Amino acid sequence: MKVAVVGATGLVGTKMLEVLAERNFPVTELIPVASERSVGKKISFKGNEYTVVSMQGAIDAQPDVAIFSAGGSTSLEWAPKFASAGITVIDNSSAWRMDADKKLVVPEVNANVLTANDKIIANPNCSTIQLVVLLKPLHDKYKIKRVVVSTYQSVTGTGVKAVTQLMNERKGIEGEMAYKYPIDLNAIPHIDVFLDNGYTKEEMKMTNETKKIMGDDSILLTATCVRIPTIGGHSESVNIEFENDFDVAEVKDIISKSPGLVLKDDVANFIYPMPLTAHDKDDTFVGRIRRDETQANTMNCWVVSDNLRKGAATNAIQIAEYLAEKKFI
């Protein structure tokens, strides 16, 4: 299968190449794509060297699938051009997520909505992906009414510039700032731009994307998103109110048997998920599961996942795997 990776030299694009290799996706020809200034550079994949090409060069090469991680404006301009050439696009930006005509997919939750006619498929926001992987099996069993989530998000979600800022601060080096404030020894309650309602775009993405992926507009969700100085993954404190009562042991059993989830919940032995737990893993880890003693039918838990893998690259490639399995590509 001919596979184009758009944004192949970026943080997420590099991770996509890693995941394609690790999961043995059937790549017969790789077409790495990047901005004009990177065209002609060499990248290696599974022991072979490939030359970075331009957007038009990638379309001319006629890949079966193009996995985009190149920003919203690039996706808005180029994804329709790839699609009109018969190439299936899986897009990691926010450009198409809330488009009524485009599917927003987390394979463990709603891969069944995909068809051979879907030529632009949206990959959700990283913080939404790990949340809905947990919410889906619990919603099926108990029906979710309301979710309150606070996120503790890795600097890798911002990109290389933010990682460099953090490491520079650790070493006492002055350099380019990805954030308005220092990030080391700090927590910044501001991810993406502020909107008129006082929430950030990141927080509203979680609200709107969750409803679309879960296929249920009745789920109420409110979020506060915070950037912290970690590398391995995003963490989330999640409070879930159900219509029906639940048993904590049964919840743990459901999580342990659900695809994409790993239960790490043994507080007697100090076992709970952390960014270090999730780093370089494809699963979503869940722990600190307990009943909310202030409200009926409500539980608290802690959810951690590697935002560059399941939150971006792995989820996109799982979509491609599903399409390939169904012979849609």
Q: What is the pLDDT of residues 276-309, one digit of tens each?
A: 999 999 999 999 999 999 999 999 999 999 999 9
pLDDT at position 126: 97
Query: Does residue 198 sit in the same domain as residue 280?
Result: yes
Segment 85-113 mean pLDDT: 97
Task: Give dist(CA 123, CA 116) in Å, integer.
Answer: 17
Query: Does residue 64 sit in the same domain as residue 145?
Result: no
Q: What is the pLDDT of residues 113-159, one digit of tens each?
A: 999 999 999 999 999 999 999 999 999 999 999 999 999 999 999 99
CATH of the domain at 68: 3.40.50.720
pLDDT at position 162: 97
Full domain range(s) for residue 17: 2-123+312-325
Is 324 strand, coil or helix? helix
What confidence category does residue 11 fall into, taking pLDDT thresholds of 50, 70 and 90?
A: confident
| Contact between residue 227 and residue 156 where contact means Cβ atoms under 8 Å apart | no
Query: Does residue 245 sit in the same domain as residue 133?
Result: yes
Task: Give dist(CA 308, CA 317) in Å, integer.
Answer: 12
Query: Does residue 180 sit in the same domain as residue 58?
Result: no
Query: Does residue 193 sit in the same domain as residue 278?
Result: yes
279 counts as catalytic: no
Residue 86 backbone class (left: φ over 0; alpha: ψ -120 to 50; beta: rest) = left
pLDDT at position 262: 98
Q: What is the pLDDT of residues 164-188, one digit of tens each?
A: 999 999 999 999 999 999 999 999 9
Query: Does residue 210 sit in the same domain as residue 178?
Result: yes
pTM for the model stands at 0.96
Query: Does residue 134 sit in the same domain as residue 249?
Result: yes
Q: Is the pLDDT of residue 227 over 90?
A: yes
Query: Does residue 81 sit in the same domain as residue 186?
Result: no
pLDDT at position 186: 98
DSSP annotation of 295: S
Q: How many other C-beta atoms are found inside a 10 Å radius of the C-beta of residue 325?
A: 10
Task: Give dist(CA 126, CA 7) in Å, integer.
Answer: 17
Catalytic residue from among 126, 139, 225, 301: 126
301 counts as catalytic: no
Q: For residue 177, what are the contacts with CB-CB under 8 A and spacing of at least 6?
A: 165
Segment 97-104 mean pLDDT: 97
Task: Give dist(CA 82, CA 48) in Å, integer.
Answer: 25
Catalytic residue from among 225, 234, 279, 301: 234
Q: For residue 189, what are the contacts with CB-CB under 8 A and spacing of at least 6?
A: 224, 225, 226
Task: Give dist(CA 191, CA 158) in Å, integer.
Answer: 9
Q: What is the pLDDT of residues 255-275, one digit of tens each?
A: 999 999 999 999 999 999 999
Q: Is the pLDDT of residue 36 over 90?
A: no
Query: Does residue 215 sit in the same domain as residue 134?
Result: yes
Q: Domain count for the chain, please give it.
A: 2
Tokens read off for 218: 């009745």
Q: What is the dihedral of CA 214, 220, 226, 227, to 10 degrees?
A: 10
